[in-house]
Amino acid sequence: MFGFSSKKGQKISSLAFLFYRRVENSVISLLYVQCLHLTLAYLLLFCPDRMLASRAFSLIGKRAISTSICVRAHGHAGVVKAEDFSLPAYVDRRDVPLPEVAFVRDLSAQQKALKEKEKASWTALSVDEKVELYRIKFNESYAEMNKGTNEWKTVLGGVLFFLGLTGLILIWQKHYMYGPIPHTFSDEWLSAQTKRMLDMRINPVEGISAQWDFDKNEWKK
């Protein structure tokens, strides 16, 4: 299909390219999906907690929000309604390059006219018309779909915040709640304890007795 040398052939293949890119990107993402599915299976098998399962599944389907934003941005008339959950659905997934249905279900008059024009020769289509046809069939392009977010900053910030908060709680606990530590932590007891360990030659090869100079009676430099 890509052996075209004529101008007419190249214009046809430019339309097909938009669709082929979706197939190309899906192969690698299938590997990730395999690992993800294995992890999910493991989680579901060994952690029958329902909350954990739903949290794990949210890894896959977290792009539901962007659908409505894109619809507003491109001014499409039709959006898949919630009650059609039993019918084949459109989905923006890296490993599903060509979803079962087109994104736009109810075409406006203008879009219907364009679909009629698509039945004729594709060389007659302008670039904007080709893009409009793509947007009728697909919601986000692969580039838009794979775009990263700044979510990691929120996650990291939340983690650090709660670590700090926990630290404050621990400080309060040590100051107001806990009693005194055992007498075996006093300096006198610890030095007597260390002296006894050295007398017994504890860990003489690589450990504490190896750090003590027995001839000079001091720690090795």
Q: Give the interface with another protein as residue ranges (CB under 8 A).
A: 2, 10, 14, 17, 20-21, 24, 27-28, 31, 127, 130-131, 196, 199-201, 204-206, 210, 214
Q: Helix 50-57 to helix 7-46 angle, to the nearest 10 degrees?
A: 160
CB–CB of 17/6 below 8 Å?
A: no
Q: Which of 23, 18, 204 is nearest to 99 (CA)?
A: 23
Instruction: Count other Cβ atoms within 10 Å, centred on residue 17.
Output: 12
**Residue 93, helix vs strand vs coil:** strand
Q: Is the dihedral of CA 128, 134, 140, 143 positive or negative?
A: negative
Of 44 and 131, which has the nearer Cβ to another protein?
Answer: 131
Of 112 and 201, which has the nearer Cβ to another protein?
Answer: 201
The minimum distance between CB 215 and another protein, in angstroms, equals: 11
The minimum distance between CB 15 and another protein, in angstroms, equals: 11
Of 76 and 135, which has the nearer Cβ to another protein?
Answer: 135
Of 9 and 78, which has the nearer Cβ to another protein?
Answer: 9
User: Residues near 91 by Cβ (< 8 Å), separated by ≥ 6?
Assistant: 99
The minimum distance between CB 84 and another protein, in angstroms, equals: 32
Of 64 and 143, which has the nearer Cβ to another protein?
Answer: 143
Q: What is the residue whose two structure tokens read 């990263």?
A: 148
